[in-house]
Structure 1
Amino acid sequence: MPDLDSETHALHEPDAHTRKFQAVASWVVVVILIGFGSYALMKLVSVHETPGTYWRDLIREQFPVLVGLPMAGLGALFVTLILRISTGPLEFEMAGVKFKGGAAPIVFWIICFLSIVLSIRMLWQS
């Protein structure tokens, strides 16, 4: 008699084509993130070419909010995607709660994002 748990697991296991598509899509997103982050930083460097001082002053005064938070989000997504690409689906347990499936990458992204934001906050001198 076949084992029901192994049949149920086999139904939820993606086939090779799906895994390859997910890996390619993840790498595409990583490349897009790197490109977008580089483009944003290049535009930030060229802000001094705009007339007036409004943008320059705003970026100088609110740099952690205007640049740090979006880059923290991209960085957390980058770390999450690279980890998923290199190790497969994410699963982890924290404080007695087990995260797997769709919840694990979301919770991991939130943890990475908050740790990057906290680091920016602690290191930023105002």
Structure 2
Amino acid sequence: MGKTEEEILESGENLVKKSRLFLQWGSVAALSSIGAVFVLIFIGSSLTDVRFNEILYEHLAAAIGVPLSALTALALVMALENVAGNIELETFGLKFKGASGPIIMWVICFLALVAGIKALW
């Protein structure tokens, strides 16, 4: 016998949830891999180049703090979206739904983290 319309919709929703989770964790794995490569290059450069160490010492917040803030904001938004569902914001008369909700939330988190680094540095 054929599937009912409810069963088809339910299986479609389950497939969408699984693919969304796969894409989210796939992006985390890709960013982690790229980050690991850059850390290895970073360590190699710091061991061999004295000028690199001087620049790193002078601009540590920009060299390490800003990229880590971007990854932290991404992790916060992804965790929030997994726990609470779709992110929807309404501020100053503007409504952010769909893909714009997580993007605006990421920007807010990132700017807050960078402002904290700037205030404390």
* 1:56 to partner: Cα distance: 0.4
The residue that corresponds to 1:59 in the other structure is 56
The residue that corresponds to 1:29 in the other structure is 27
* 1:93 to partner: Cα distance: 1.6
* 1:35 to partner: Cα distance: 5.1
Residues 36 and 82 of structure 1, relative CA distance in 2, 3 Å threshold = farther
The 5-angstrom pairing of residues 1-16 of structure 1 reads 15-16=13-14
More helix by share: 2
Q: Is the 8 A contact 1:72 1:116 kept in 2?
A: yes
Provide the secondary structure at the position in 2 that maps to 1:15: helix
Q: Distance in 1 between matches of 2:47 and 2:32?
A: 24
The residue that corresponds to 2:105 in the other structure is 108
CA RMSD of aligned residues (A): 2.2
Q: Distance in 1 between matches of 2:76 and 2:38?
A: 19
Instruction: State the identity %.
Output: 29
Is there any run of 5+ residues in structure 2 with no aligned partner, and where? 1-11
TM-score by length of 1: 0.72
Q: Does 1:121 align with 2:114?
A: no
Residues 37 and 123 of structure 1, relative CA distance in 2, 3 Å threshold = farther
* 1:105 to partner: Cα distance: 0.9
Residues 86 and 42 of structure 1, relative CA distance in 2, 3 Å threshold = farther
* 1:23 to partner: Cα distance: 1.1
Runs ≥4 residues deviating over 6 A: none
Q: Distance in 2 between matches of 1:38 and 1:97?
A: 38
Q: Distance in 2 between matches of 1:31 and 1:85?
A: 17
Q: Distance in 2 between matches of 1:29 and 1:94?
A: 28
TM-score by length of 2: 0.75
